């Protein structure tokens, strides 16, 4: 079809060559607490293991702001960015700085799930709206929800439930061998996956976990995958550097020829995808974006993003862009009067997000979370030889609870490395017989 992915500036050096962000005023002295300005604080990991995500987040948010000319509701918007080095304690320290010194009106950002939870916990009694961007921990908008939270993006289980269901129901797979990173985001992804897979008729998701960020050589775990026990696929439940390692070694040991590899939402995400061998073409993964979305909204966004940053947008940059746009539109809606925070949150919930680049999004008024499209994608090769995530199916209007009603869902324990059970037969029945609400539409239709 269409060469979905324009020549990607895979050269990371070029990334820096891009016009420097007009550092939106972190240097601004605290004294400038002028009434005329609205301050948005953004916490992200600009150094450390996840700094790639932090960078993309920054680019998305800045793009949205620039499109609005740093103006909303007739007021000037100031963005103050802080680096938390992916250290939750730093995240809180930096939140304190934003709240206490900069006196921000809105807090956004956050890459990892734990980071989001930590910040949300600290912000509980601060009466300042918190808009997590890439942070996907479901409890932020579930068990630890508080009314100042608005998440226009995703939870870990949201896309994976659809994915698991699809694999079991449509592909007819019965057994999956999962290798996951041992912390909360992959647990949540795994939880969603297992629920969907079992509900769809799967039998077992056998799981092994390894510590994140420190397991450098996965070869031994790969060599231990039993090839003769009838597993339909290996699910690698991890992202970033670990995923690059895993996939490379998987291919090097020749396992790509022996068993199918699938991934979680981040495994094949850009830009890590650029470091992966071509042998993984065809691997499935789910997310809320796909690189070859061909809607006017996505194309416009992609073009603008490319123009500004010289690279293609990723999910993380789209999430940041759309979150920031919601914030700006809400400020517009309250005419720049952000003093009433409850009203501001209300306005955010009412923002029309049907024109979101990744597809129409609406917000759940009770839990302030997104209801949106999930795309099942497969890794494909563009004409220029680079890899990209090609959409194959679209599932519309997926909520963070999947097909379950919130009450039933919240009665279940939090997803972990021992819950849900590996055998579908051990599942609580309520989880298996939820009414199917997913409607699979061929991608692009």
Partner 1 sequence: MELKYIILILNGLTQSAILFVLGSGLTLAFGLMRVVNLSHGAFYMLGGYLGWSVVKATGNWPLALLVGGLSIALLGFLFEKTMLGRVRGNDLPETLLTVALSMIIADVCLVFWARTAITLNVPQYLNPTITILGVTYPGFRYLMMVISILIAVSLWFILYKTNLGKAVRAGVDDRETVSALGININKIYTSVFMLSGLLAGLAGVLGGSYLQLSPGGDTTILTLSLVVIIVGGMGSLLGAVISSLILGQIMSFGLAFAPQYSYFLIFIPMALVLALRPQGLFGRQI
Partner 2 sequence: MSRFRINPVKVTFYVIAAIFLILLPYYVSQYTVTTFIRIIYFGFLSLSMGFLIGQGGMISLTQTAFFGLSGYIIGIFGVERGLMFPWPDLMAIGAVAIMAFLFGMIAMGTHRIVFLMITLAFGQVCWAFAAQNTTILRGWSGIRGIRPFVIYGINFNEYQNFYWASLILFALGIFILWRISKSPFGLALNGIRENPRRMAAIGYPVYWIRVVAFLIAAVYAGLGGILAAYNTGIIMPTTIQLSRTIWVLLTVILGGASFFFGPIVGTFVAVWLDVLISGVTERYNLVLGVVFLIIVLFSPTGIIGIFDQMRNDKKFNSIINFFSPKKEKPNS
Contact 7, 311 (CB under 8 A): no
Stretch that binds partner 2, among 180-188, 311-319, 358-366, 435-443 (CB under 8 A): 180-188
Cα separation, 436 vs 445, whole angstroms: 21
* Ramachandran quadrant class, 422 (left: phi over 0; alpha: psi -120 to 50; beta: rest): alpha
Residue 56 binding partner 2, by CB under 8 A: no
Residue 413 binding partner 2, by CB under 8 A: no
User: Which of these, 250, 245, 218, 217, lies nearest to 233 by C-alpha position?
Assistant: 250
Count CA atoms closer than 13 A to 93's CA, side-chain side.
Answer: 8
Size of the site for partner 1 (CB under 8 A): 43
Q: State the binding string over 403-432 for partner 1 (x if CB under 8 A, else -).
A: --------------x---------------
Stretch that binds partner 1, among 92-100, 125-133, 138-146, 270-278 (CB under 8 A): 270-278
Cα separation, 344 vs 55, whole angstroms: 27
**Is the peptide bond prior to 173 cis by the omega test (within 30 degrees of 0)?**
no
Cα separation, 241 vs 49, whole angstroms: 8
Q: Which option in partner 2, partner 1, none does residue 114 bind, with CB closer than 5 to 8 A by kind? A: partner 2
Burial tier of 114 (Cβ tally within 10 Å: 0-12, 13-18, 19+): middle
Contact 231, 177 (CB under 8 A): yes
Stretch that binds partner 1, among 41-49, 150-158, 164-172, 230-238 (CB under 8 A): 41-49
Query: Which residue stretches of 19-133 are H helix?
Result: 51-67, 88-96, 113-123
2, 14, 32, 96: residue in contact with partner 2 (rule CB under 8 A): 96
Q: Which option in partner 2, partner 1, none does residue 411 bind, with CB closer than 5 to 8 A by kind? A: none
Residue 9 binding partner 1, by CB under 8 A: no
3-state secondary structure 383-443: CCCCEEEEEEEEEEEECCCCCCCHHHHHHCCCCCCCCCCCEHHHCCHHHHCCCCCCCEEEC
Site for partner 1 in 347-376 (CB under 8 A): none
User: CB of residue 194 vs partner 1: minimum separation in angstroms?
Assistant: 18
Nearer to partner 2, 37 or 97 (CB): 97
Residue 203 binding partner 2, by CB under 8 A: no
Nearer to partner 2, 183 or 206 (CB): 183
Residue 93 binding partner 2, by CB under 8 A: yes
Q: State the binding string over 343-372 for partner 2 (x if CB under 8 A, else -).
A: ------------------------------
User: CB of residue 23 vs partner 2: minimum separation in angstroms?
Assistant: 7
Cα separation, 410 vs 259, whole angstroms: 36
User: Which of these, 142, 199, 140, lies nearest to 411 by C-alpha position?
Assistant: 142
Residue 99 binding partner 1, by CB under 8 A: no
Site for partner 2 in 12-31 (CB under 8 A): 23, 26-27, 30
Reading the block at residue 42, the tokens are 């953004």
User: CB of residue 445 vs partner 2: minimum separation in angstroms?
Assistant: 40
Residues of this chain that interact with partner 2 (CB under 8 A) are 23, 26-27, 30, 46-47, 82-83, 86-89, 92-93, 96-97, 100-101, 113-114, 117-118, 121-122, 182-184, 211-212, 416-417
């Amino acid at each position: 079809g269409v060469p979905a992915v324009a020549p990607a500036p895979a050269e990371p050096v070029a990334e820096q060559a891009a016009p420097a962000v007009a550092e939106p005023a972190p240097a601004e002295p605290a004294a400038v607490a002028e009434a005329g300005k609205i301050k948005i604080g953004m916490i992200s990991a600009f150094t450390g293991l996840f700094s790639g995500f932090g960078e993309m987040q920054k680019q998305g948010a800045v793009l949205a702001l620039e499109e609005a000319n740093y103006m909303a509701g007739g007021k000037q918007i100031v963005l103050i960015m802080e680096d938390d080095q992916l250290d939750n304690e730093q995240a809180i320290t930096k939140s304190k700085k934003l709240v206490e010194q900069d006196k921000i009106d809105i807090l956004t950002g956050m890459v990892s799930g734990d980071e989001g939870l930590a910040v949300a916990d600290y912000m509980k009694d601060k009466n300042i709206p918190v808009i997590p961007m890439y942070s996907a921990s479901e409890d932020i908008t579930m068990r630890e929800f508080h009314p100042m939270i608005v998440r226009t993006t995703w939870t870990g289980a949201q896309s994976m439930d659809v994915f698991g269901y699809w694999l079991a129901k449509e592909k007819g797979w019965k057994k999956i061998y999962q290798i996951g990173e041992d912390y909360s985001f992959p647990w949540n992804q795994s939880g969603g996956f297992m629920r969907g897979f079992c509900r769809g008729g799967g039998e077992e998701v056998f799981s092994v976990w390894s510590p994140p960020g420190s397991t450098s050589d996965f070869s031994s775990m790969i060599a231990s995958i039993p090839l003769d026990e009838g597993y339909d696929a290996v699910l690698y439940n991890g992202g970033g550097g670990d995923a690059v390692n895993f996939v490379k070694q998987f291919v090097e040991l020749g396992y790509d020829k022996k068993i199918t590899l699938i991934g979680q939402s981040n495994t094949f995400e850009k830009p890590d995808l650029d470091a992966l061998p071509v042998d993984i073409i065809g691997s499935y993964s789910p997310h809320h974006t796909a690189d070859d979305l061909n809607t006017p909204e996505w194309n416009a966004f992609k073009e603008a993003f490319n123009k500004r940053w010289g690279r293609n947008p990723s999910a993380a940059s789209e999430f940041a862009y759309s979150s920031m746009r919601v914030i700006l539109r809400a400020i517009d809606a309250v005419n720049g009067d952000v003093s009433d925070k409850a009203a501001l949150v209300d306005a955010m919930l009412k923002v029309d997000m049907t024109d979101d680049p990744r597809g129409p999004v609406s917000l759940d008024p009770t839990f302030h979370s997104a209801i949106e499209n999930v795309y099942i994608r497969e890794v494909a090769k563009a004409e220029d030889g680079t890899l990209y995530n090609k959409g194959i199916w679209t599932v519309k209007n997926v909520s963070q609870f999947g097909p379950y009603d919130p009450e039933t869902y919240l009665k279940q324990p939090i997803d972990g490395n021992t819950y849900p059970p590996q055998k579908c037969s051990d599942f609580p029945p309520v989880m298996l017989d939820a009414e199917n609400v997913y409607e699979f539409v061929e991608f692009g239709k």
